[in-house]
Amino acid sequence: MSKKRRNDTSQDQGETPTGGWEVVYSGFVLILLCFFIMLCSFSSMEEAKVMRFVKSFTSAVSILPGGLDFESGKEVLPPSPDIVDIESEFAKLFEDLRKLTRDFGLEGDINLSFSEKELVMRLSDTFMFDLGVAEILPEAIPLLNKLAFIISKTFYPVRVEGHTDNLPIHTEKFPSNWELSTARAVNVLRYFTENEKIPMQRLSAVGFGEFQPIFANDSPEHRAKNRRVEIVFIGEKHEQTSLAE
């Protein structure tokens, strides 16, 4: 009777019953369970997708780490071989092109980007051509030699694209930017086929004039970036789909 009265008294004084450790322990076990489920799911995913998740998570929780700043452009992440399957030929090709760019010290004149469908190597016209001219500059020839060797080691179809800014041109040889951009693309293609013996069946050339800019043509710097030649490696699956259509 006294024992029951003592318990009633302790409850009246606001004392909480014991047993809270079971709740904490259950929560801890649930957290561990979720952790192991996540590990199991990662083990069944491609490593490249895991790396993409890690990059996205890092970007979400880091606010401009290391003094980075915003830059205009279409790319959310800088191009990197771990955005695609690291075992794929695209990733290996990207590494070869990046090494080529570093070896020639042309990081400011060459830009690399890719998606699952294609890999694009953008070459600035200041390195490739004189203003308003379609003949390839002699200093660009060593790079094209090395690039042709890389192309010859792959099986991808390659499209050479010519692009200009929006400044009008009207000469006897080039009545408009259409002709100038097309002539530049064709000259690069001819160099690959005639001097480096790349099979013609793998190559195509197209001129876009000023109609596919990557920057607004609102300053000399942006117009210079729009004047470019792009070497586009087309993914095998994408090419087969296009042919089927």
Interval 203-214: pLDDT, tens: 999 999 999 999
Q: What is the DSSP letter of 139?
A: G
The pLDDT of residue 33: 84
Q: Which residues contact 208 (CB under 8 A, 6 or more apart)?
A: 161, 162, 163, 181
Q: Which residues contact 160 (CB under 8 A, 6 or more apart)?
A: 185, 186, 188, 189, 192, 203, 204, 205, 206, 229, 230, 231, 232
Q: Give CA–CA dist 193/210, Å, rounded.
A: 26
- The phi, psi pair for 91, rounded to 5°, reads -65, -40
Q: Give CA–CA dist 215/111, Å, rounded.
A: 14
| pLDDT band, very low/low/confident/very high, at 163 (cuts 50, 70, 90) | very high
Hey, what are 225's tokens?
A: 């970036």
Determine which of 79-83, 157-161, 194-198 has the lowest per-residue pLDDT on average.
79-83
The pLDDT of residue 36: 77
CA 204 to chain centre: 22
Number of C-beta neighbours around residue 200 at 10 A: 12
Higher pLDDT, 67 or 213: 213
The pLDDT of residue 63: 47
- The phi, psi pair for 134, rounded to 5°, reads -105, -10
- Cβ-contact 156, 88 below 8 angstroms: no
Instruction: Provide the residue ranges of all domains of the chain, joining segments of one domain with +.
Output: 2-44, 74-244
Higher pLDDT, 237 or 189: 189
Total-model pTM: 0.65
Q: Which CATH architecture has domain 74-244?
A: 2-Layer Sandwich (3.30)
The pLDDT of residue 26: 84
Question: Angle between the 89-103 and 141-152 helix axes, to the nearest 10 degrees?
Answer: 160
Q: How far, in Å, are 99, 113, 118 from residue 163 at the CA level?
A: 25, 16, 18
Q: What is the pLDDT of residues 2-18, one digit of tens each?
A: 445 555 554 555 555 55
Q: Give CA–CA dist 225/125, Å, rounded.
A: 8
